[in-house]
């Protein structure tokens, strides 16, 4: 792989604007090479004079001898060899920029090389300023984490109340924690073993590594406990994590006094652990940023030497090495301190265990997954062919029981079809997000190493499809076979058994079938339902948007209840649509997803004070009115013109509102004055026509509601339930397309703001009136 592609693949995508523009510098070198080729400029590597190699003038100087001593670089410089002169220019604000003077500017074609070095200086100054800024930020964060660690250790001492005997001093060298000391509880007189706690031991010659920043050496021999006075100046940050804590935060302050309970200590340890892991990830990315850019400067200067037949790389790379960018070791020192601190305080001194937490290994792609989803997909295709042949051979589509099957059984199985199609679209989203380097794990907040890839999604989709199709064909065979017609009740219960199986897998507490991803989905769904009591994050409203495209799936769940509870499923009949209660809930179930999004918009409006969230809420209110009026018109036996006009008017307004919001706000397109006309300044996809096709397709698919008010099923000769399934599937496909461009826009916003990290809440808050210098 060429370095340019490897460079782009390894960079932090949210920082891509801060990296050296390697491709631009490479294009300037191509201009230099093109000029030399057009002007037949000879290369010293290949030029000959009368059959002899043309040599550099310095080769004709008197030989200095093999035994000469090494001399400083300044004495080795020769005027005829010097190409560039790099110097630091001090500006008024104290920040210095580096400038390169090209000493061969009087030569023919030197203007291209002047452009190259001017651009090279701009890139280097950009990189070094970004690096300095981020190093300064991590140093400030390190100070804050040091204060948090002081408070945590003091809280441990307060809660555990350890008794340190004379024999407990200096038992463990190098500052690691003891994990085998049984400490007696002071109130029990030492008669019963109380607990095994971690006690920090320090030796006389050991430097104090407790703080993230290091610090002064520990001059006192023996055990050094954190001062408990720290607890007098800190309070607990109350994180709004549950509805109960939200109500408490409304009644009381967002900060509470310490209660010195073990639950409080455990919560504080979990928060600091997450904060340290995220902080260490930032240090790793900074180190990678520094290394990649240094490598890029080295590569581009060597390419310059090769292209121009000069020797300028040595002088420039020496400047890079001596600059802050090349000589700074703050990040490496902080990484070592974090590793020591985490191993000591959160891994019982086990460095290997601590490093596994700090540096989780990337998931290995397993061929077993590819084999299984290929097998399941093949079996699913075979079952589809078998079902089609079964229907054709037995003329089931022309039988008198066709309508009965479509009204009672088809809606039960269509639920799994909607879910499988949505999972398939999401698998496609993941594939293209990865291909175009959209950082979806960071955007969704997935724990590192737990996100599902498109292969895992395809495995789940093909597995669900296989189960559903097997249930369908078994349903048909059992019903038609004379030997099994006596099991009619059991036959009708197959869809219910399948639903129970799927729900059981989704809520299975055992660590099988991607438990972390299943529970993440369940937590997000719960937060959607409890939207007023939670801070709305992107995974929450993104999932709620998915729910708005699964309205027909929720209606299928309602039909399950009606069919198996109030319907006569033994005779395959139901009177659900004749029930007024069913009709009311049919409307309610459809508007609940939009209502949840409306509540989320109100919540964000109150928290962020952004009027755009209020306008977004009005969009969902208009959609609620349109869905309700369309459903009422659909249930009417005598189609009244008034309801038709109301349904068409509200649906038209909601469609225009939603389409505009999709394209302009969610996707960030239709910018007339952008560098890409009618799109946006930055695009991920290389072909602009894809964006125009996506916008056109989104507009067309937004108009599928017309089938309800225009009676399209009579034109297409489709059964009503079949057409409803087709319309619902088209909406799921539209949502899959929307997902890609929505996350692309979010990713580009993160890139524009260099936002590559999530803010992690800290457990303690220092009282500024007190002493917070600990």
SS (H, E, C) 639-675: CCHHHHHHHHHHHHHHHHHHHHHHHHHHCCCCECCCC
Query: 3-class DSSP state for residue 287?
Result: helix
Average pLDDT in the 485-500 region? 82
355-369, 446-460, 589-603: the lowest-pLDDT one: 355-369
Highest mean pLDDT among 319-333, 453-467, 639-653: 453-467
Q: Specify which residues 207 forms β-bridges with.
A: 217
User: What confidence score (pLDDT) does residue 339 get?
Assistant: 92
pLDDT score of 267 more than 70: yes
Contacts 24+ apart (CB under 8 A), 76-81: 80/56, 81/56, 81/311
Residue 551 pLDDT class (50, 70, 90 cuts) = very high
Give dist(CA 121, CA 89) in Å, integer.
12
Task: Collect contacts of 621-625 with beta carbons under 8 A, ≥24 apart.
Answer: 622/650, 622/653, 622/654, 622/657, 623/548, 623/594, 623/654, 623/657, 623/658, 624/591, 624/594, 624/595, 624/598, 625/650, 625/654
Of 199-203, 362-366, 408-412, 568-572, the range with the lowest mean pLDDT is 199-203
Say what the pLDDT of residue 221 is. 43
Q: Tokens for 221, please give them.
A: 């021999």
The dihedrals phi and psi of 196, each to the nearest 5 degrees, come to -105, 115
Average pLDDT, the chain: 80
- State mean pLDDT over 3-21: 88
Confidence tier at 742 by pLDDT (50, 70, 90): very high
Q: What pLDDT is attached to residue 249?
A: 55
Band of residue 184 on the pLDDT scale cut at 50, 70, 90: very low
pLDDT digit string, tens, across residues 75-92 = 444 555 678 888 877 654
Q: What is the dihedral of CA 720, 722, 725, 730, to 10 degrees?
A: -100
Q: Specify the pLDDT at position 361.
A: 74
Between 200 and 239, the higher pLDDT residue: 239
Closest of 126, 124, 78, 132 to residue 316, by C-alpha: 124
Flag whether 735 is in a domain: no
Query: Which DSSP category does 679 fall into?
Result: B
What's the confidence (pLDDT) of residue 195?
A: 33
- pLDDT of the residue at 251: 56
Among 108-117, 373-382, 649-658, the range scoring the smallest mean pLDDT is 108-117
Confidence check: pLDDT of 482 > 60: yes
pLDDT single digits (tens) 676-715: 999 999 999 999 999 999 999 999 999 887 776 666 555 4
Res. 772: pLDDT tops 80: no
In this predicted structure, the answer to whether residue 252 has a pLDDT above a threshold of 80 is no
Contact 474, 467 (CB under 8 A): no
Backbone angles phi, psi at 19, to 5 degrees: -80, 160
Q: Return the residue matching tokens 């500006």.
A: 91
Residue 432 banded pLDDT, cuts 50, 70, 90: very high
Over the stretch 588-602, which tens digit does the pLDDT of each residue have?
Answer: 999 999 999 999 999
Give residue 738's pLDDT band: very low, low, confident or very high (50, 70, 90): very high
CA distances from 557 to 408, 499, 503 (A): 13, 9, 12
Task: Summarize the confidence of residues 399-424 as an average pLDDT.
Answer: 88
pLDDT at 608 over 60: yes
Query: Average pLDDT of 427-445?
Result: 93
What pLDDT score was predicted for residue 379?
A: 96
pLDDT at 295: 93
Q: Are the C-beta atoms of residues 423 and 460 closer than 8 Å to each other?
A: yes
Task: Quote the pLDDT of residue 247.
Answer: 59
In this structure, what token pair is assigned to residue 354?
Answer: 């601590």
User: What's 359-428 look like in SS3?
Assistant: CCCCCCCCHHHHHHHHHHHHHHHHHHHHHHHHHHHCCHHHCCCHHHHHHHCHHHHHHHHHHHHHHHHHHH
Question: What is residue 716's predicted lDDT score, i.e. its pLDDT?
Answer: 54
**Does any domain span residue 217?**
no
Q: Per residue, what are the HEC states of 123-154?
A: HHHHHHHHHHHHHHHHHHHHHHHHHHHHHHHH
pLDDT in the model for residue 447: 83
Q: Among 332, 384, 731, which residue's Cα sits nearest to residue 549?
A: 731
* pLDDT recorded at residue 484: 57
C-alpha dist (Å) from residue 334 to 44, 320, 329, 426, 560 = 47, 22, 9, 39, 58
Per-residue pLDDT at 595 = 96
Of residues 16, 17, 28, 3, the one with CA closest to residue 118: 28
Contact 348, 177 (CB under 8 A): yes
In 10 A of CB 435, how many CB atoms? 11
| Of 230, 216, 255, 233, residue with least CA distance to 152 | 230
Residue 164's pLDDT is what? Answer: 55
What was the pLDDT predicted at 701?
93
286, 131 contact by CB (below 8 A): yes
Q: Which of 81-85, 288-292, 348-352, 364-368 has the lowest mean pLDDT?
A: 81-85
Q: Mean pLDDT across the stretch 350-362?
A: 84
pLDDT > 90: what percent of the chain?
44
| pLDDT(216) > 70 | no
Is residue 236 assigned to a domain?
A: yes
Residue 238: predicted pLDDT: 60
Rg of the chain on CA atoms, in Å: 34
**Cα angle value 521/522/528 (rounded, 5°):** 90
β-pair type (234-237, 182-184): unpaired
Helix axes 3-10, 262-308, angle to 10 degrees: 160
**Higher pLDDT pick, 69 / 244:** 244
Q: Are 763 and 148 in contact (CB under 8 A)?
A: yes
Confidence of residue 187 (pLDDT cuts 50, 70, 90): very low
Residue 696 sits at φ, ψ, to 5 deg, of -65, -45
**pLDDT, tens only, 609-628:** 999 999 999 999 999 999 99
Q: Are 222 and 202 in contact (CB under 8 A)?
A: yes
Q: Tell whether 560 is covered by a domain.
A: no
Q: Which of 99-113, 129-143, 461-475 has the lowest mean pLDDT?
A: 99-113
Query: 481 falls in which pLDDT band (50, 70, 90)?
Result: low
pLDDT band at 139 (very low <50, low <70, confident <90, very high): very high
What's the rounded Cα separation, in Å, for the pair 128 and 324?
A: 7
Domain membership of residue 617 (yes or no) is: no
**C-alpha span between 311 and 306 (Å, rounded):** 9
Whether the CB-CB separation of 754 and 440 falls below 8 Å is answered with no
Cβ–Cβ under 8 Å, residues 233 and 255: no
CA angle centred on 532, ends 531 and 533, rounded to 5°: 90
Distance of CA 221 to the CA centre of its chain: 47
Here the tokens at position 265 are 């200590």
pLDDT top residue among 221 and 562: 562
Range of the domain at 95: 1-36+83-161+228-243+261-361
Kindly report the backbone phi and psi dihedral angles of residue 97, in degrees, each rounded to the nearest multiple of 5, phi listed first: -105, 155
- Label residue 23 exposed, middle or buried (CB < 10 Å: 0-12, 13-18, 19+): exposed
Give the model's confidence band at 313: pLDDT under 50 very low, under 70 low, under 90 confident, else very high: confident
Give me the percent of the chain exceeding a pLDDT of 70.
Answer: 77
Least confident of 169-173, 401-405, 633-637, 697-701: 169-173
131-140 long-range contacts, Cβ below 8 Å, gap at least 24? 131/286, 131/289, 131/290, 131/293, 131/324, 131/325, 131/328, 132/324, 134/286, 134/289, 135/286, 135/328, 135/330, 135/331, 138/279, 138/282, 138/283, 138/286, 138/330, 138/331, 138/334, 139/213, 139/330, 139/334
Given pLDDT bands bounded at 50, 70 and 90, which one contains residue 186? very low
Q: Please check whether residue 619 lies inside any domain of the structure.
A: no
Mean pLDDT of 481-493: 69
679 inside domain? no
Count of domains forming the chain = 1
Residue 278: inside a domain = yes
pLDDT of residue 687: 93
List strands edge to edge, sheet with 234-237.
255-256, 234-237, 764-766
Is residue 242 helix, strand or coil? coil
Rama region for 65: left / alpha / beta (φ>0; ψ in -120 to 50; rest): left
Average pLDDT over residues 351-356: 88
First vs last Cα of the chain: how many Å apart?
50
Residue 258's pLDDT band (cuts 50, 70, 90): low
Average pLDDT over residues 121-126: 92
Could you tell me which residue, 759 or 199, shows the higher pLDDT?
A: 759
Q: In which band, very low, low, confident or very high, does the pLDDT at 335 lie, cut at 50, 70 and 90?
A: very high
Distance (Å, rounded) from C-alpha 113 to C-alpha 101?
A: 11
Mean pLDDT (whole number) for 60-68: 53
Q: Within 10 Å of residue 278's Cβ, how many Cβ atoms?
A: 15
The conformation of residue 344, written as its DSSP 8-state character, comes to H
If pLDDT is split at 50, 70 and 90, which confidence band does 173 have?
Answer: very low
Closest Cα to residue 435, out of 2, 65, 8? 8
Evaluate if residue 104 carries a pLDDT over 70.
Answer: yes
């Amino acid at each position: 792989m060429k370095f340019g592609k490897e460079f782009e693949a390894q960079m932090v995508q949210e920082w891509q604007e801060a990296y050296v523009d390697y491709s631009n510098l490479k294009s300037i070198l191509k201009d230099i090479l093109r000029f030399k080729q057009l002007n037949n400029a000879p290369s010293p590597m290949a030029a000959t004079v009368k059959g002899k190699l043309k040599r550099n003038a310095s080769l004709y100087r008197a030989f200095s001898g093999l035994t000469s001593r090494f001399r400083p670089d300044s004495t080795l410089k020769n005027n005829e060899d010097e190409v560039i002169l790099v110097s630091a220019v001090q500006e008024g604000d104290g920040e210095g920029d580096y400038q390169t003077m090209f000493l061969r500017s009087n030569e023919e074609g030197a203007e291209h090389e002047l452009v190259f070095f001017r651009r090279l200086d701009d890139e280097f100054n950009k990189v070094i300023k970004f690096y300095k800024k981020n190093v300064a930020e991590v140093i400030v964060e390190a100070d804050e984490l040091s204060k948090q660690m002081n408070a945590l250790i003091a809280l441990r001492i307060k809660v555990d109340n350890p008794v340190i005997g004379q024999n407990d001093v200096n038992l463990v060298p190098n500052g690691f924690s003891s994990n085998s000391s049984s400490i007696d509880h002071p109130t029990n007189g030492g008669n019963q073993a109380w607990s095994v706690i971690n006690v920090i031991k320090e030796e006389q010659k050991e430097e104090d590594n407790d703080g993230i920043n290091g610090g002064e050496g520990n001059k006192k021999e023996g055990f050094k406990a954190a001062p408990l006075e720290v607890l007098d100046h800190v309070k607990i940050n109350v994180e709004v994590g549950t509805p109960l804590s939200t109500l408490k935060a409304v009644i009381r302050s967002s900060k509470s006094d310490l209660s010195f309970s073990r639950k409080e200590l455990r919560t504080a340890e979990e928060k600091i652990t997450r904060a340290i892991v995220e902080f260490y990830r930032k240090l790793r990315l900074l180190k990678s940023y520094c290394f990649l850019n240094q490598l890029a400067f080295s590569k581009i200067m060597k390419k310059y030497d090769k292209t121009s037949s000069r020797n300028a790389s040595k002088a420039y790379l020496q400047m890079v090495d001596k600059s802050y960018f090349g000589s700074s070791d703050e990040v490496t020192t902080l990484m070592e301190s974090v590793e020591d601190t985490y191993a000591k305080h959160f891994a019982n001194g086990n460095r290997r265990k601590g490093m596994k937490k700090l540096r989780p290994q990337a998931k290995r792609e397993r061929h077993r997954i590819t084999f299984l989803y290929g097998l399941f997909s093949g079996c699913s295709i075979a079952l589809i062919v078998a079902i089609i042949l079964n229907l054709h051979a037995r003329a089931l589509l022309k039988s008198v029981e066709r309508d009965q099957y479509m009204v009672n059984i088809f809606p039960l199985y269509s639920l799994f079809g909607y879910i499988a199609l949505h999972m398939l679209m999401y698998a496609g989203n993941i594939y293209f997000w990865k291909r175009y380097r959209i950082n979806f794990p960071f955007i969704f907040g997935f724990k590192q190493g737990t996100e599902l890839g498109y292969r895992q999604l395809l495995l789940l989709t093909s597995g669900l499809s296989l189960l559903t199709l097997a249930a369908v064909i078994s349903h048909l065979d059992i019903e038609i076979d004379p030997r099994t017609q006596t099991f009619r009740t059991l036959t009708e219960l197959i869809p219910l058994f399948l639903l129970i199986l799927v729900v059981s897998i989704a809520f299975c507490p055992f660590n099988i079938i991607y438990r972390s991803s299943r529970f993440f989905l369940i937590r997000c769904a719960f937060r959607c339902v409890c939207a007023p009591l939670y801070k709305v994050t992107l995974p929450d409203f993104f999932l709620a948007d998915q729910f708005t495209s699964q309205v027909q799936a929720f209606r299928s769940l309602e039909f399950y209840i009606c069919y198996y509870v109030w319907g006569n499923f033994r005779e395959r009949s139901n009177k659900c649509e004749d029930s007024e209660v069913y009709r009311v809930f049919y409307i309610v179930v459809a508007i609940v997803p939009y209502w949840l999004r409306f509540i989320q918009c109100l919540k964000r409006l109150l928290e962020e004070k952004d009027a755009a969230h209020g306008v977004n809420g009005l969009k969902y209110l208009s959609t609620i009115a349109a869905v309700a009026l369309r459903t009422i018109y659909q249930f009417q036996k005598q189609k009244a013109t008034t309801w038709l006009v109301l349904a068409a008017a509200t649906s038209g307004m909601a469609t225009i509102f939603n389409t505009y919001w999709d394209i302009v706000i969610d996707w960030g397109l239709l910018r007339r004055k952008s560098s890409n006309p009618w799109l946006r300044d930055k695009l991920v996809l290389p072909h602009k026509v894809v964006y125009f096709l996506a916008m056109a397709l989104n507009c067309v698919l937004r108009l599928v509601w017309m089938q309800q008010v225009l009676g399209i099923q009579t034109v297409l000769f489709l059964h009503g339930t079949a057409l409803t399934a087709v319309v619902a599937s088209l909406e799921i496909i539209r949502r899959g397309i929307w997902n890609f461009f929505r996350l692309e826009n979010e990713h580009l916003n993160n890139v524009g703001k260099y936002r590559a990290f999530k803010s992690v809440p800290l457990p303690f808050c220092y009282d500024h009136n007190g002493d917070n210098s600990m």
